[in-house]
Structure 1
């Protein structure tokens, strides 16, 4: 009997040793896989001169990349794997997500890191429309204006909105990028420009399903610098003017460009071309032109619900802030031109090619940062 017990104990020890060995091997394989992915992203950044940029007061190296993230309280349906997660409500069609962002909603920064945020009056989530391969654009935003989570009495978070890629390498890089930053909203839909309106609506849909109505929603492009001081001042000013007195609530603020009675694009060679069948009128209603605009989640919900009745237009900014707004009988006085504008286009225009992005970003970000560095700021790195 004693020999049987000894034999049983020896077998248990061997099984335990085998299990520990297997776990160690699996862990080492994971470390090897993750190191390979990290090396891939680091190499991609190095190719684009982004591994050691001195931007304003920030001297950022590869080591900093490991700590730049939006971590905190999980939002509903948060996932970080490559399997689409379906969401469906009574009023929205099904949207499949590969990755959803994690946003620091309130507690951690407010109570431990950012004394300047006591009595925070507004909270803004910026949905930056990007494409799967625009790794450099996203990293530039994370290292410049997207790094500041608090300005004076407001909270800011950035979410990158991208569609689906069919390239396995790109899918792996996006997965690793999201694993490190937790700031990507990756949905199962086309990632090309002709479907830009659906991309915008996807961001609006996620915002209205996951954010409180009193939060602010913003749509932006991934090739813009943002003066957070000008943004903060415009939000505070319009919150005082419209927050209580207007039945429509918070207005639509055009942070890049404001259009009043602009003519539709009738040149067939233009990517913004609209035929008479698509839009028969001679002028657009008052609206915001691309780049960046913001409004309340409450108003974004109204615009989103109304959009379901129509075919989306390629000029999504004009369609949403102008045409849909007018159809809802929201007065044009609710479309605001701030002074100064807060968003600046940093690439893709004459004289600023992407090949010179390192020197350009150093100069232009330094100038932009100087405009608001006197404000109470907080990075809120965890």
Structure 2
């Protein structure tokens, strides 16, 4: 019996409802809980392997096959039923020999030498007594140009298996899983011993590390890791010691687009950093044409920058680079840009401020759908009783329960955050802070378990530092949604959420008209 099974993955928003309705009549759709993207294909493979190992161990063979492939089942069954086809430790398909690891950082196939040295996979094959042989010559040097190939374990050299181009038979769980261990870099556990070596599991997407719903503690994807502690290992060559940082720590990432000299040139008093999705050009342009264009307020220099993650494709990346050349206000880091990676995004912002802009007096992390009254904000920051250090304020969140409902996007497991309530934190839509905090927060986060509620995570880091968020002199200046924006006096607020880029422009124009 041949059984077809298709696998799909969680996508943001409500698209999963369509998958659910598709599954009911077909009963062939599997779904797992992380963002489906090109850069998550390795996760996808491991979930397939986990499903086969735990849900279908009785099958003799399995095949991982892409959705754009034609399969001749009759020919495939002829191969598998042949008397000389191995029943164990067997995998075949279109073989790839002597493939160079891509070191070009602009390529989507880029993998850094730190994560995967050139000899790693070859050495693993040798250690496990596995060779890949040419179909006709039976020797393991260079491949012949033919498309029909075979492979087997070293002790069965007389074995020959024939298969058409494109067949990839993935049954050897140990083979796949061990190789994958050189391509992943995730952590859901704190550092307990800074000098102990753990499994190096680094998922590199154009050297991009990715966290999906794993940061919330949803563990299905990670069943195949058998609940091991998985902590990234970074070796400091100068001192030859290993330092372990979790997946949200900014040392795991690097900037693809950067403005490293911007603060030296501007010497800003206040820096706005806006985390925004790469495709949200309209939101960026709305800010550029309104409050983000206010470069000098009350004699103080103000700088606005946008931080994005990966674009998801070369065409989108090219457009982003063109936008960067035009405006010189984009910073891009190499993580997958998704809702579930907001903690990473925030920590990368903190790292940029600490390393690229330490001379600024204050900074503000502000969402792309926010209207900011910069004049009112400067009045607050220039007030004589506003602290110059260890200061953060905004819309304060007190006594907030941790969400344990696994169906909620705000879910955080007890393993990641055992307390039932969060410490007081500032709502992530917009908080302003003295610029001594970014370095302190990044340092404090090294040993803090990350989870996907970025503003609450900031609160836990601040608690670790012994810093309490400050109540604004007039808390009503930090607004969320306004029930009646027409009747509301925008001239008195510092922040409020706009429902669209167009509304940001409307708010700004309204305030300017009444000055």
TM-score (norm 2): 0.46
Residue number in structure 1 paired with 2:66: none
Cα distance change on mapping 1:102 and 1:206 into 2, 3 Å: closer
Aligned residue among 507, 510, 514 for 1:364: 507
Is the CA contact 1:217–1:300 (under 8 Å) kept in the aligned structure 2?
no
Residue number in structure 1 paired with 2:365: 219
Question: Within 5 A, what are the aligned runs for 1:84-123?
Answer: 93-101=251-259, 105=263, 123=269
Give the Cα–Cα distance (whole angstroms) in 1 for the partners of residues 278 and 328 of structure 2.
15
Q: Which stretch of structure 1 is more off in the superposition, 213-222 or 128-137?
A: 213-222
Q: Which stretch of structure 1 is more off in the superposition, 214-223 or 167-176?
A: 214-223
Which protein, 1 or 2, shows the higher relative CO under an 8 Å CA cutoff with sep ≥ 6? 1
Question: Within 5 A, what are the aligned runs for 1:1-382?
Answer: 93-101=251-259, 105=263, 123-213=269-359, 215-237=361-383, 240-243=385-388, 249-254=389-394, 257-320=395-458, 322-330=459-467, 332=468, 334-339=469-474, 340-341=477-478, 342-347=494-499, 354=500, 358=502, 360-370=503-513, 373=515
Give the Cα–Cα distance (whole angstroms) in 2 for the partners of residues 366 and 102 of structure 1.
32
Cα distance change on mapping 1:370 and 1:278 into 2, 3 Å: farther
Is the CA contact 2:448–2:461 (under 8 Å) kept in the aligned structure 1?
no
Give the Cα–Cα distance (whole angstroms) in 2 for the partners of residues 98 and 311 of structure 1.
26
User: What's the secondary structure of 1:285's corresponding residue?
Assistant: coil
* Alpha-carbon distance, 1:178 to partner: 0.2
* Alpha-carbon distance, 1:123 to partner: 0.8
Give the Cα–Cα distance (whole angstroms) in 2 for the partners of residues 126 and 273 of structure 1.
29
Give the Cα–Cα distance (whole angstroms) in 2 for the partners of residues 194 and 313 of structure 1.
9
Is the CA contact 2:371–2:508 (under 8 Å) kept in the aligned structure 1?
yes
User: What's the secondary structure of 1:189's corresponding residue?
Assistant: strand
1:18-63 CA distances to partner (integer Å, 9 max, x unpaired)?
xxxxxxxxxxxxxxxxxxxxxxxxxxxxxxxxxxxxxxxxxxxxxx
Give the Cα–Cα distance (whole angstroms) in 1 for the partners of residues 412 and 390 of structure 2.
30
What is the RMSD computed on CA atoms of the aligned residues?
Answer: 2.9
Give the Cα–Cα distance (whole angstroms) in 2 for the partners of residues 311 and 283 of structure 1.
16
Give the Cα–Cα distance (whole angstroms) in 2 for the partners of residues 343 and 370 of structure 1.
18
Q: Mind listing any 5+ residue stretches in structure 2 that lack a counterpart?
A: 1-104, 113-206, 208-233, 237-242, 244-249, 479-493
TM-score (norm 1): 0.61
1:273-295 CA distances to partner (integer Å, 9 max, x unpaired)?
22333323232211101111121
Q: Mind listing any 5+ residue stretches in structure 1 that lack a counterpart?
A: 1-80, 111-121, 244-248, 348-353, 374-382
Q: Hey, which of these two has a bigger chunk of helix by percent?
A: 1
Q: Which has the larger radius of gyration?
A: 2
Give the Cα–Cα distance (whole angstroms) in 2 for the partners of residues 230 and 189 of structure 1.
34
Give the Cα–Cα distance (whole angstroms) in 2 for the partners of residues 277 and 300 of structure 1.
26
1:124-162 CA distances to partner (integer Å, 9 max, x unpaired)?
111110111111111111011000011114221111111
